[in-house]
Amino acid sequence: MTAIEVTGLRKSYRGNEVVRGIDLAVARGEVFALLGPNGAGKTTTTEILEGHRRRNGGTVRVLGEDPGTAGRHWRARIGIVLQDTDDAVDLTVAETIRHVAGFYPDPRPVDEVIELVGLTEKRRSRIRSLSGGQRRRVDVALGIVGRPELLFLDEPTTGFDPQARRQFWDLIRALAAEGTTILLTTHYLEEAETLADRLAVIAEGRIVAEGTPATLGGRGAAAAKVTWRESGAMRTEQVADPTELIRKLVAEDADLSLLTVTRPTLEDTYLSLIGAHR
């Protein structure tokens, strides 16, 4: 029950190989995040999966078909929110969404989509009058109006303020609850950690780590850093399991008012992974 199956994917531009043998599987109904620095190959990989770019090698199946040869029926089953889009600036929000909805066999009602992306008050506004974040919401609306089985989101919350970003997260959770498979690329690690069931890190055209947000790159087994105050000075120790150390400190009646226990964040792990492959 996989939505995406990739084996040995390769892509070159003028002799420069930018995707170097990627293997990837995304289950149906899963939210999967692709992370990586600019130029790592994640956008090229995503465009191949969407059928927008041809590969040089490997096998790819998306919803059971090769996106390089799939037809219109297959395209009606996917939704795409591109990183950069060209707006029909003279149309209103409602007109733009209604126009795109007409290309799908069973689209969501236009007013429902507008409400989902938080543009109800702007439904009659022309695209040219919208802010950057509001235009991005229109992009998301166009990606979901066709009730896609699989939704590609390429940096979807660029230009969103913090409140809008969290509203968007609620939308993604709702789509996932309906069974929509979602492939997300993002530079916001908090976003990936909040939304993704699993994620992969791409560096220099290869997947260098894959797992859940809690276990990526050995994060779940990483040593904990315990910090406390002793004799007026701060002390720090790194231990596999902080429980015994804390029990010892309690037995010694240590000052625990500033006690902290931390493990590597997703950002720490991500930066370590891409740094090791530069």
Structural domain count, the chain: 2
Same domain, 37 and 165: yes
Same domain, 48 and 123: yes
pLDDT for 277 = 63
CA distance readout (Å), 154 to 88, 160, 174, 225, 276: 20, 14, 18, 35, 25
Angle at 194 between CA 193 and CA 200, to 5 degrees: 35
Q: Do 153 and 192 meet the contact criterion of CB atoms below 8 Å apart?
A: no
Residues forming beta bridges with residue 236, ordered by sequence position: 227
Report how far residue 26's alpha carbon sits from residue 32's, in angstroms, rounded to the nearest whole number. 7
Inside any domain, residue 277: no
State how beta strands 198-203 and 31-35 pair.
parallel
Same domain, 163 and 227: no
Inside any domain, residue 208: yes
CATH number, domain with residue 57: 3.40.50.300
Same domain, 114 and 202: yes
Inside any domain, residue 278: no
Show Cβ contacts of residue 119 under 8 Å, excluding neighbours closer than 6 positions. Answer: 93, 134, 137, 138, 141
Task: Kindly report the three-state secondary structure assignment for every residue of 173-216.
Answer: HHHHHCCCEEEEECCCHHHHHHHCCEEEEEECCEEEEEECCCCH
- Helix H or strand E segment including 89: none
Same domain, 8 and 137: yes
Same domain, 150 and 249: no
* 121, two tokens: 């008050």
CA distance readout (Å), 275 to 104, 107, 185, 202, 267: 43, 44, 19, 12, 12
Inside any domain, residue 124: yes
Residue for token pair 């896609």: 148
Report how far residue 58's alpha carbon sits from residue 4's, in angstroms, rounded to the nearest whole number. 13
pLDDT for 100 = 93
Same domain, 60 and 154: yes
Same domain, 108 and 139: yes
pLDDT for 71 = 92
| pLDDT tens-place values along the chain, 278 residues long | 899 999 999 999 988 999 999 999 999 999 999 999 988 999 999 999 999 999 999 999 999 999 999 999 999 999 998 766 666 778 999 999 999 999 999 999 999 999 989 899 999 999 989 988 888 889 889 999 999 999 999 888 877 888 888 888 998 999 999 999 999 999 889 999 999 999 999 999 999 999 999 889 888 777 888 999 988 889 998 888 889 999 999 998 888 888 998 888 898 899 989 886 66
Same domain, 205 and 75: yes
| Per-residue DSSP letter, 126 | B
Segments forming the whole domain that contains residue 64 = 2-217
Inside any domain, residue 269: no
* 205, two tokens: 């055209």
Angle at 237 between CA 233 and CA 240, to 5 degrees: 160
Inside any domain, residue 33: yes
Same domain, 195 and 210: yes
Same domain, 147 and 36: yes
Report how far residue 258's alpha carbon sits from residue 175's, in angstroms, rounded to the nearest whole number. 41
Output the CA torsion 63→13→211→167 (10° steps): -70
SS3 state of residue 120: helix
State how beta strands 2-13 and 78-81 pair.
unpaired
Inside any domain, residue 7: yes
Inside any domain, residue 172: yes
Residues forming beta bridges with residue 31, ordered by sequence position: 182
Same domain, 150 and 236: no
